[in-house]
Amino acid sequence: MAMLPEAGPAAGGNRAIVTVIGVDRVGIIAAVATMLAEAQVNILDISQSIMQEFFVMIMMVDLARSPSGFDELKAALNERGNAMGLKIDIQREDVFKLMHRV
């Protein structure tokens, strides 16, 4: 996957990364996207790939307009993941930015 240049710091601090890991099946993206839409969370980008036999979907989302609290959203995603036999989580973007970029 191509690595595009990063945007400047003006990009804002309310972004998070949603990760979905599990066995591939029909309807994963639809289910997660619907949940995020209901919570007024804007999806900025989606990537998916198969790594070590696991389906890995990664979404960058913007929480700026969402009335839901972070914890609330996280709990809802975790719960939905459990129901679908997937691991769904959300983490603030800074984690990835700091760990992998000097």
- Residue 12, phi-psi category: left (phi > 0), alpha (psi -120 to 50), beta (remainder): left
Residue type, 19: T
The answer to whether 30 contacts another protein (rule: CB under 8 A) is: no
What token pair was written down for 21? Answer: 């890991």
The answer to whether 53 contacts another protein (rule: CB under 8 A) is: no
Q: Which residue has the tokens 């900025």?
A: 44
Instruction: Using CB under 8 A, pick the residue from 14, 19, 42, 68 that binds another protein.
Output: 19
Question: Which listed range, 22-30, 31-39, 89-97, lies at the site for another protein (CB under 8 A)?
Answer: 89-97
CB of 10 to another protein, least distance (A): 10
The number of CA neighbours under 13 Å toward the Cβ of 44 is 15
The answer to whether 79 contacts another protein (rule: CB under 8 A) is: no
Q: Give, in degrees to the nearest 5, the angle at Cα 80 between 100 and 43.
A: 50
Instruction: Using CB under 8 A, pick the residue from 34, 40, 49, 82 that binds another protein.
Output: 49
Q: How far apart are CA 37 and CA 101, in angstroms?
A: 30
The answer to whether 7 contacts another protein (rule: CB under 8 A) is: yes
The answer to whether 80 contacts another protein (rule: CB under 8 A) is: no
Instruction: Using CB under 8 A, pick the residue from 4, 26, 27, 67 that binds another protein.
Output: 4
